[in-house]
Structure 1
């Protein structure tokens, strides 16, 4: 998506996003191809570089469609992940030096716990991520829960 916006005017970003959303949310490869053809008909004349970009990257995109819808939603929503990473980087950068690995892990733990000091976000987190965690555990054959046994 981000690479697509590089070739488009800012005023068209929302419309392009709405046009591409059915492509990456399609249940099957055939549906994705149909939605992409519709997108190409709508935007191909104005932004042929976007259509060519998706056509060139189609082979890398198709395996993404094999994952469950919940996994794809998590992969596509990078804002939450990037926010956590930024907070961790900020905490580590402010601390600077760690005497050992345990001290570094404690700093990361405290940074993550400080994301939600009231504890109310945990309910929102579980509502959003539980389905994805279940899908990850099934798709990757229990590797997610193996450490908890």
Structure 2
């Protein structure tokens, strides 16, 4: 079903976004492995959400400051923002038990469950 949707996207949007469509079609074998996992696992292993969240928080604070007196002032502010944001990185990952069990089923021959992922 995913490949059919990709073909439909390419048919509708391929002329407007030819590079994206070609790239996704050329790399479909790699992209499609992501869809072998259920939705909860995909949400856990999909990395752009936390990265985008961090960028959004940095932009929110730096945008309101206007200009900085020096590069060092900006670097100090960035350090403090990241220090504050990083407190949330120690929180447990949502649905980690489900994710680790599915990864163990798929890659159990590569890693031991007791060693973690």
- TM, length-normalised to structure 1: 0.41
Higher RCO, Cα 8 Å, sep 6+:
2
